[in-house]
Amino acid sequence: MEQIRNFLNKEVAEQKMHRLALEIAENLSGDDAPLILIGIRNSGMVVAEKIGTFLQPYIDTPIEIISSSFDKHVPKEIVLSKEVDFTDKNVIIIDDVCNSGKTLLYACKPLLSYYPRRIQTLVLIERMHKLFPIKPDYVGLSMATTMQDHIHVKVEAGEVAGAYIE
């Protein structure tokens, strides 16, 4: 039987997301371009909505939150929840966990038809197993894990309730 190890509770997750929002606000200080947060299906979208809520008091530019969904194993078609012109906008792609960088890389695909001012990435938890040339710009928590470990982010009632390794 596999052992489950909790390493993040709701309170710590909230603190980390608030800190990430402050980092974004600091980096965007003086930039008046609209901000688009793209949450990657399910847990990534929950993190994106929370980051958006935390960011509101700190930046004056409009914030739009949309979702991106695709098959993470065979990412042929990337579907956004809304058609958006990303030209001259700041874009942050958000996911719960970054394992190899593949998901974040493919999430950039729809943006290639536009000319965003900047594209950045944010993950609540980063693992150290990069196979693709993606390094998250904003990281809540970095974890050294084995390839056999699986990190799961628990979401309850639309909130990050914690995370565990299985």
CATH of the domain at 132: 3.40.50.2020
Predicted confidence (pLDDT) per residue in 114-123, tens digit: 999 999 999 9
Residue range 6-11: mean pLDDT, rounded = 90
CA 10 – CA 28 distance, rounded (Å): 27
Count how many residues are written for the chain.
Answer: 166
Per the listing, tokens 């900047």 go with 118
- List the structure tokens of 109: 């695909």
Predicted structure pTM score? 0.93
Domain that holds residue 22: 5-165
The token pair at 19 is 């800190």
CB distance 84 to 57 below 8 Å: no
Our count of domains for the chain comes to: 1
**Residue 2: its pLDDT value, please?**
56
Terminal CA-CA length for the chain: 10
> Does residue 13 have a pLDDT over 70?
yes
pLDDT confidence bin for 22, thresholds 50/70/90: very high
In the DSSP assignment, the letter for residue 153 is: E
**pLDDT digits 0-9 by tens, 69-105:** 998 788 889 999 999 999 999 999 999 999 888 899 9
**96-155 pLDDT, tens per residue?**
999 888 899 999 999 999 999 999 999 999 987 777 888 899 999 998 887 778 888 999
